Each structure stands twice: as structure tokens, then as C-alpha cells.
Structure 1
Amino acid sequence: MACPDRWHAEDPGVSIVKAYRPRGSRRAATIAVCAVSALAALATGCGAAPTADAQNSKAGKAGSAADLGGMDKLVAAAKKEGELNVYALAPDWANYGEMIEAFEKKYGIQVNNENPGGSSQQALNAAAKRKGQPRAVDALDLGTAYMQDAKAKQLLTPYKVAGWDGIAGGQKQADGSFADNYGGYISIGCDAAAVKTCPETFKELLKPEYKNKVALNGNPTESSSALSAVFAASLANGGSLGDVQAGLDFFKELKQKGNYVPAESTLATIQKGETPISIDWDYLNLGYGDKLKPKGVDWQVNVPEDGQYSLYYNQGVNKYAPHPAAARLWLEFVYSDEGQNIWLKGYSRPALLDKLEKDGTVDKVASAKLPEVTGTPKSASPEQEAAAKEKVVQGWGKAVG
């Protein structure tokens, strides 16, 4: 599964992946969180306060594990810190539950996962506002537009993981500030019991039979997944990666017809029957299907042929990380063969899938569960994402308000 250089200006519309193959089963895991009240957290944060010069420590300046003397030294330094602060990593999102559990078990480092249901914008805000605080975010997982924003705000510090050379050139920043880690496709999930005929295209979503049934996973002014749904809708309605106005117009029409539901689509809202149709990442919709099947819900998932859009989420180290070694070890883990296969088990496509297949280290059972997709899904460049985000922030309220 080749990954073209999706950041090349000469060909900004090339898909990040040639074939569509989402993941296997995902299981939620218990995530370690701060056992303090919200008020106490505001005052003190989780765990012991880091040293004031964490940013200027050897770990804080390390651009690779080699700068610390190798992986063993990085592991030792991270274990000494004992904690890792992350933000908005939902356990059922791309198999994050298993990812966090595996990291904690392997290294004995407590992961403090704040606001697991939060958005990319909220995670970015937390990183920007907590400089120098013990509860500052150590490592960031953001959609491209938000990671670009983090870089522009000088919140990132370069770090190249051991597998850096295996990441395609168009999937990483040359300076090491961030890189693609896992990704997926916009899809349409549907409760086949609540909907007579499940829609397979954006055009079909406008039919009167879907009144009060269609929802997004979040607000596109704050959420990368919802913003990507606008991209997909734009492509399905004559728009382009460079101008998503057609996507805004689509959701405006969807709202006018009474089909759009403003509630954020989650597993809970689906189970309650509040959002029987959800436009979301394929790996989330497929994961919902796994969880809903034992409850007797037939959750069907389709990647719309008229709006095929793909996106990777990125990982980066916060320049102001209070646990700089743990932050770097976290990146090493999520880009390792073990970490990449955990993403694969969560139906998402790991950035290093080609390497896993070439080296014979891929989880073949999980890989075999990834369905095919016809056509060539498109993916926006960082610049196109940033422009789309600005346009959507200005126009979303007018479209569906």
C-alpha cells in the first residue's frame, strides 16, 4: 500500500494511500487518569511537579534517542520521570485504549489522559495555555491543520523516532517537528434497523427518508474528523481540496431539509437511537460495529464513492513537556512495530504499514480485516487543511446555525 508524497505542491490532491484497508477489532482499556478533583487538578495537576528546567534538560533538547545515548538511556530517563501527560485520547479511538495500556505495562509509566473525549482544538489549547505547568501536555496527537497551528505557535520541538527513515517523505516534516502516525477514510455508518436503506453516498444523505438522522463526530470548527467530513462533502459536490465552500453548502442544504442532527455522534448516541447515521472515520464506525453487534445492532459502514477523503493524524512532542523523556519514548512506542500493529488492530492504517509488510512484522489477522476501497481517495495538503479550517470557522455557523 504505497503512500505518495501528499505534501508535494505539484500534486496536492494525491491520496495518502492507494488502497483502503481498515483494521481489526478494537478493545477499550482502562486509562490512568488523575485521581483528583477538577479544582485540585487546576491547582496542582497530576503527579510530582517536574523540574523547572525540563525544557532545557538533556532529554528536553534531544532530537533523537541517540542524543541521549540510545534507546536504553531514553527508557531509563522516561522511567525516572514516571509519568506522561496526554490529552483527548479516547480509548475507543483507533484502539487508543490498548495503546495506552500496552505502553504503561511495558515501561511502568503512568499515563495521565485528560479529557479523553476532547477535540483537537481543545488539545491544542491545553498545550498553548499550560507552558511551564506540571500538567502541561507532553505529547500531541492532532489532525494536520491543528498540528500545523501548533508548529506555527512554536509549541513543538523536533524529535525523530528510530523508524523515521521508514516514514514516507510526504508524511513527515523535514525538521522532525511532527509526522503522520495513523489514518483513515471518511465513512457513513448506519443503523440498519433504524434506517430502511442505508445511504452509501453524500447525495443519498439528502433524501427525505433520512430526516433527523444524519450527524457528525463533533464540530468541524474544532474537530479534525468533522472538518474532514466537510472536505469529503465538498469533493462529492463539485468542490475541491482548495475550496470547501461546496462542503459548507452541502451541510446547509442538509440542515434545511431537516436531515442534519446537531448532536455529536458517539457510541452512546447511536445506542440511544439519537444519531442513526454518522459521518465519521471508517475506523471509528467499524469499531462501533464491533461493539454494537453483541447488542443486536447491525451497524453498516460505507466509504462514499462520491466523496472519498483520507487523512492521517500526527504525533509531536510539546516543547514545554514536563516529562520530556517520557514524551519522546511515547513517540518511539507509537511508531514502533508493536505500536503500529496496535493501530492496525483498531482498523486504522498505520503510517509504517508498508514497512511492516516488507519486514514481515505486520499483524496479518488485523491486516486481513481491512476492507478494500475502489477509486483513489484524496487528501489535503497541510496548507489546504489550514485554509479549509479558516473558511469553516467563518462559515459553519451560517451554514447550520
Structure 2
Amino acid sequence: MTVFLPRTAVLTGVLAVAAALALSACGSSSDGSDAAGGKSAATATTAEALGGVDALAEAAKKEGTLRAVALPRDWANYGALMDGFKKKYGIKVEVENPNGASQDEISAVTSRKGKDSAPDVLDLGSSFAQSAAQQGLLAPYMVTGFADIPDTQRDSIGRWANDYGGYISFGCDAKRVRTCPTSFKDLLKPEYKGLVALNGSPTKSGSAFGAVYAAALANGGSFDDIQPGIDFFAKLKKSGNYTPLDSTPTTIGKGRTPISIDWDYLNAGYTHEFKSKGLDWTVVVPSDGKFSQYYSQAINKDAPHPAAARLWQEYLYSTEGQNIRLKGYARPALMTAMKKAGTLDKTAAAKLPKVSGTPSFPTETQQSNAKGVIAQSWGGATSE
């Protein structure tokens, strides 16, 4: 398992190049990727509609490629997933701007509609997935195990479904920080001056968005009221404890962001990776702000490779794919169903950060409203 990287890079430069190339392009390379019987993958909502997963795989192999944006190999074990997909089906996954953010993926879909350079699939923070669905950008598709995904973690018609996730956590360099924080309240202590960081802006990054939501829950807010979270970070900034420097493996390794608020599966990955480098990276889910969220999978409605896009979804939600997620410290959406079926990797599950209680999730409307509040207020609250 290698170091996880935050998905917060901006895609503007890449988009400019792609736009220039698109002027000479002839449009999408796919005409619908017909499967056996002349059925179109571009409109298929299940594998069965194409004659089953085997028929879908044959159509996908003819396409030969899967395009994506912002899928780091070292984020939630994507490297192992891409390698496994290629080994199993012979289809290469081409990833552009791997360190981009959810909004960059949506921007690539809207700016490259009908072009070969458009992404086939998207991995989005759930609030961004819901927004993309509302914009009519996503294709309905239900994977084989769709019914086993909890109702609150999937769109009713399959435009998006949660795949993996975790809890907002505090990662802490125990050799640089005498006493690591265990609550949002702790973060306000003077001893943490200039030490607390997010891995990006909550206007673009799903994990940073989750951090603000968690802070809201810790400070009298709710799924309907994220403002206390924004106010908390404004207070943290005023105290000098919050630094706008994005937390990355590099900044952590150099001691520049010794306290990083991020998903527990990313911080747990740092613990494993940095141990050999002498860094004692500890992970705790804050006691006063437990916020769990998942990243969702979706298919571009105008995917250049529609069969490969659907086959990729089938692979991610297969037992093999979900256990690969688990080995990357991420909690798979089908974890409960796999426990019941006896197919869960128990060794990998035992290594997850401990959390008590049952997670609850904001509704689509609540997340949409929260995004609007953050877009309007975050810059002013945390600016110099």
C-alpha cells in the first residue's frame, strides 16, 4: 500500500489543452458499443439488458479503454483496482490529472461533451454526485449488487451509488505534537498554533467538505445547519491554529502539516506508509464530531466508452473490488452484505480505525444546501 494523495489539484490547465485538442476531434469514438444482439451499452441500465456481465465484458473489450479524471493510484487502493481490472479484462484505465478534485471531474464532463477526451466514469464526493445527477450529467446504471447497497447510499434509479468511504479523522505526527487532539474543541488550544490543516478547500474537496460538516456537528450544528462548522474554522483561523496550506503526504513528511483533518482511510494509510520513515502518525475519529461520508461512482451520460464504463462499475462493486477497497483502509458500501455472505476480508476489516455507533448521513437536499452555504461563506470566513 502506498501513500494516499489528496484529490485537490485544479484542472484548469489540463482543460485548456483538452479544449484545444478537441477542436480537431471528430467527437466521441463510441457509437453505443453494441453488445450481443445489437443492444446498446450507452442506454443499458443493467448488465442483464446487454445479455449479462460476460456480454458486457466482450463489448467493453472491443472499446479497449476506460477514461477517468482524478483517480490517484494511491487513494483508497485505486492502483490495485486499476491493475486488477486490466489483468481481468485487458482494458487499460487512462487517468488524467490524478490529483484533481470532484468538481474538476464534473467540469471535464460539461466542457468535453461529445469529445473523445471526456471521462467515462466519475468518482465523486456524494454531494457532488447528487449535484451532477441534478444537472442531468449521469447515466442510470444498476450494478449486479445494487439492491445490497443501503437505500440511503444510492440513487433510486442508479445515477450514482456510494462505493467506499469512512469517517472524518485527525491524523497527528506524535513526534512533533506533544499531545495529539481527540476533539474539535481540542483544536482551539494554543499549543496547536499553525499546525491544523485540511487537504483542500471545502468548495472543491469532498474530504474538506466533510471536515466542515463534522465541525458543525461538534459545535451545535446539524445536517440542516453547516454554518457552525464554517464559524469554527473562522475561529480556528483567527486563533492562528488553522493553516490554509493543503495537507499532502509531502507536507506531512516535512512536518509542515502535523495535524491533518481528513478521511480515516487516508490517515490510516499514512500510518502504515510513514512508519518505515520514522514518522509516528496516529489516527483518531474526533469524539465530538463524528461525520461519515462515502464517495460515489457514476457514469458520464455521454461516455466515449459506455460498455467499459459499465463494466468498471461491475468490477468496483464485485466482492473482489470491495475487498480491494477494504485493504486500502476504506469501508466498502457492501460491507454489511459481505459480512452476511461471509465474503468480507476479515483481516483487512480488523485494521480499520475503531468507531462506535451507527453512522447517519445527510440527505441530498441537506448536502445541496450545505454546499451552497459553503460556496457563499467559506472564502470570507477563512481569508486573511
Tell me, which stretches of 5 or more residues in structure 2 are unaligned? 6-12
Residue 28 (structure 1) shift? 7.5
1:53 to 31, 47, 59: 31
Change (3 A) 1:81 1:50: farther
1:348 to 321, 326, 330: 330
2:203 aligned counterpart, secondary structure: coil
Per the alignment, residue 369 of structure 1 pairs with 351
Q: Is the 8 A contact 1:28 1:98 kept in 2?
A: no
Report the Cα distance in structure 1 between the residues aligned to 2:30 and 2:288, rounded to whole angstroms.
53
Per the alignment, residue 69 of structure 2 pairs with 87
Matched, 1:182 2:164: yes
Report the Cα distance in structure 1 between the residues aligned to 2:366 and 2:176, rounded to whole angstroms.
37
Matched, 1:153 2:135: yes
Deviations 1:253-276 (A, max 9, x none): 000000111111111110011111
Deviations 1:264-314 (A, max 9, x none): 111111001111100000000000111110000000000001000000111
Tell me which amino acid in the other structure corresponds to 2:112. Answer: R
Residue 379 (structure 1) shift? 2.2
Query: TM-score, with normalisation over the residues of structure 2?
Result: 0.92
Matched, 1:169 2:169: no
2:212 to 206, 225, 230: 230
Deviations 1:217-253 (A, max 9, x none): 1100111110110000001111111011100110000
Report the Cα distance in structure 2 between the residues aligned to 1:55 and 1:208, rounded to whole angstroms.
60
1:187 aligned counterpart, secondary structure: strand
Report the Cα distance in structure 1 between the residues aligned to 2:256 and 2:73, rounded to whole angstroms.
22
Per the alignment, residue 382 of structure 2 pairs with 400
- Residue identity over aligned pairs, in percent, reads 54
Indicate the structure whose relative CO is greater, using CA pairs within 8 Å and at least 6 residues apart: 1
Report the Cα distance in structure 1 between the residues aligned to 2:351 and 2:238, rounded to whole angstroms.
38
Q: Is the 8 A contact 1:54 1:321 kept in 2?
A: no
Q: Is the 8 A contact 1:86 1:113 kept in 2?
A: yes
Write out aligned runs for 1:201-350 (5 A).
201-350=183-332
Change (3 A) 1:230 1:324: same
2:309 aligned counterpart, secondary structure: helix
Tell me which amino acid in the other structure corresponds to 1:140. Answer: L
Residue 361 (structure 1) shift? 1.2
1:301 aligned counterpart, secondary structure: strand
Query: TM-score, with normalisation over the residues of structure 1?
Result: 0.88
Report the Cα distance in structure 1 between the residues aligned to 2:33 and 2:157, rounded to whole angstroms.
18
Q: Is the 8 A contact 2:68 2:93 kept in 1?
A: yes
Change (3 A) 1:167 1:196: same
Q: Is the 8 A contact 1:265 1:278 kept in 2?
A: yes
Tell me which amino acid in the other structure corresponds to 2:342. Answer: G
Residue 93 (structure 1) shift? 1.3
Report the Cα distance in structure 1 between the residues aligned to 2:330 and 2:249, rounded to whole angstroms.
18
Report the Cα distance in structure 1 between the residues aligned to 2:256 and 2:3, rounded to whole angstroms.
24
Per the alignment, residue 47 of structure 2 pairs with 65
Report the Cα distance in structure 1 between the residues aligned to 2:341 and 2:360, rounded to whole angstroms.
27
Tell me which amino acid in the other structure corresponds to 2:151. Answer: G
Q: Is the 8 A contact 2:102 2:128 kept in 1?
A: yes
Tell me which amino acid in the other structure corresponds to 2:269. Answer: G
Report the Cα distance in structure 2 between the residues aligned to 1:107 and 1:41, rounded to whole angstroms.
28
Report the Cα distance in structure 1 between the residues aligned to 2:193 and 2:359, rounded to whole angstroms.
28
1:157 aligned counterpart, secondary structure: coil
Residue 74 (structure 1) shift? 0.5
Report the Cα distance in structure 1 between the residues aligned to 2:308 and 2:27, rounded to whole angstroms.
14
Report the Cα distance in structure 2 between the residues aligned to 1:100 and 1:290, rounded to whole angstroms.
21
Residue 181 (structure 1) shift? 0.8
Q: Is the 8 A contact 1:206 1:257 kept in 2?
A: yes
Change (3 A) 1:376 1:236: farther
Q: Which runs of 4+ in 1 moved over 4 A?
A: 25-29, 37-45, 47-50
2:167 aligned counterpart, secondary structure: strand
> Aligned Cα RMSD in Å?
2.1
Deviations 1:21-77 (A, max 9, x none): xxxx56779xxxxxxx968755548x9974363499701011111111111110011
Per the alignment, residue 108 of structure 1 pairs with 90
Tell me which amino acid in the other structure corresponds to 2:263. Answer: W
2:158 aligned counterpart, secondary structure: coil
Change (3 A) 1:295 1:386: same
Report the Cα distance in structure 2 between the residues aligned to 1:366 and 1:384, rounded to whole angstroms.
33
Matched, 1:391 2:373: yes
Tell me which amino acid in the other structure corresponds to 1:264. Answer: D
Q: Is the 8 A contact 2:234 2:381 kept in 1?
A: yes
Report the Cα distance in structure 1 between the residues aligned to 2:29 and 2:275, rounded to whole angstroms.
48
1:332 aligned counterpart, secondary structure: helix
Aligned pair count reads: 369
Deviations 1:328-352 (A, max 9, x none): 0000000000000011111111111
Residue 378 (structure 1) shift? 3.8
Tell me, which stretches of 5 or more residues in structure 1 are unaligned? 1-24, 30-36
